[in-house]
Amino acid sequence: MEEGRVLAGHPGSSHPPGDPATSKTPATVQTETTKEEADLLERHTRKMKDKEKEKEIPPPSFKDALISVGTTTAQMDEVPETLEHHDSAPQDDEDGIPTITITNADLDRIRKPWSTSIIIRVIGRSFGHEYLLSKLQTLWKPSENLTCLELGDHFVLVRFHSQGDMTKVLNEGPWFIGPHYITIRKWEPEFDTSKAKISTSVIWVRLPGLPIEFYDKEMLLKIGTKIGKPLKIDFRTENNEKVRFARLCVQVDLSSSLISKVRVGNHIQKVSYEGIPTICFKCGLSGHKLQHCSPPPLPPRLQHQPKMQNLVIGC
């Protein structure tokens, strides 16, 4: 009888038939199995999605690698996308030369720092940088120190820190360092020293007896273009405060024949020049012109040296 009771329960089990640990129905076991399979399936799906995302992310570019390295030592400014585009795909002109397109915004930005600058050249003499800077400081007495930059071919860019200081130098003159004349021109974009004339300078001209109806800004600038390159109209002329003569600031080539008359409609207008010296653009001295320049005398020790005979070595 005792053996029959044992056989009626679960063989090999010490739990009685009514024990909850052994009384699970097949439906309950099937439900737990389904949850485990669902968890496994979800984890598997998540892993597959992560792998697909890794495939979609491209490897870091050379620029990204450089930036990631640079940020460990110093902060680097990113190159604007527009510049990257121009550098990576420059447009070639018909000569096959790589061309960089410059926008109006670019021009405004790169030209603005030099808007209060002039370009000078001392005729007939070359001075050292420090000596020239010291002389100009003494000569012009600017409110702030000047900055001088050598451009080549004896041209020097002088940068003022105020518009008033530059205007003063342009309005006054002529200027000399000792006996040597200083040509002055306002800074201009794309100035090429190899093509610039050494005799170009800024001067003031007068238009005596100009009829009152021609005291018009546009008309005055048109007259100025016939004389040289107009830079400025005197404020008294522009405001009709002084009408005995009109006054213009122009840039001219002093080595060329200067314009003495201009025809304005039916009116013949006389042109006179203020404070213009007679300059020799060979030696840089005033008082004579290039065609009348004689070479300086030889030092005494060289005047009596015998001339060297031409020697022929070998026959």
CA distance 268 to 197: 30
User: Is residue 22 one of the residues assigned to a domain?
Assistant: no
Q: Which of 197, 232, 264 is the last residue of a domain?
A: 197
CATH number of the domain to which 267 belongs: 3.30.70
By CB atoms closer than 10 A (0-12, 13-18, 19+), residue 114 is: middle
pLDDT 10s digits, 230-263? 988 998 998 888 889 999 989 888 777 888 899 9
User: Is residue 158 one of the residues assigned to a domain?
Assistant: yes
Domains contained in the chain, number: 3
User: Is residue 307 one of the residues assigned to a domain?
Assistant: no
Is the model more confident about 76 or about 165?
A: 165
CATH number of the domain to which 181 belongs: 3.30.70.330
Same domain as 193, residue 204: no
Same domain as 282, residue 249: yes
Closest CA to 276 of 250, 249, 260, 254: 254
Is the model more confident about 47 or about 268?
A: 268
pLDDT number for residue 270: 94
User: Is residue 127 one of the residues assigned to a domain?
Assistant: yes
pLDDT number for residue 19: 52
pLDDT number for residue 219: 95
CA-based R_g, the chain, Å: 44
Same domain as 154, residue 70: no
Mean pLDDT over 218-226 rounds to: 95
User: Is residue 182 one of the residues assigned to a domain?
Assistant: yes
Same domain as 282, residue 252: yes
pLDDT 10s digits, 14-70? 455 555 444 445 544 455 556 777 777 777 777 676 666 555 555 555 445 444 444
Is the model more confident about 149 or about 63?
A: 149
Element spanning 212, H or E: none
Least confidently predicted of 4-8, 16-20, 217-221 = 4-8
pLDDT number for residue 266: 93
User: Is residue 15 one of the residues assigned to a domain?
Assistant: no
Same domain as 138, residue 67: no
Same domain as 190, residue 247: no
pTM of the complete model beyond 0.75: no
pLDDT number for residue 285: 53
CA distance 183 to 155: 10
Q: Which of 197, 220, 245 is the last residue of a domain?
A: 197
CA distance 157 to 188: 11
Closest CA to 254 of 192, 202, 177, 176: 202
Same domain as 287, residue 203: yes
In the chain, which ranges are continuous DSSP H helix? 2-8, 26-56, 62-70, 81-88, 104-111, 129-140, 163-171, 217-227, 235-238, 300-303
Same domain as 178, residue 212: no
Q: Which residues, including other chains, have CB under 8 Å from residue 219's CB and lie 6 or more apart?
A: 264
Domain range holding 209? Answer: 199-291
User: Is residue 18 one of the residues assigned to a domain?
Assistant: no
Same domain as 225, residue 142: no
Same domain as 271, residue 209: yes
Same domain as 287, residue 212: yes
User: Is residue 6 one of the residues assigned to a domain?
Assistant: no
Same domain as 204, residue 190: no
Q: Which of 197, 224, 239 is the last residue of a domain?
A: 197
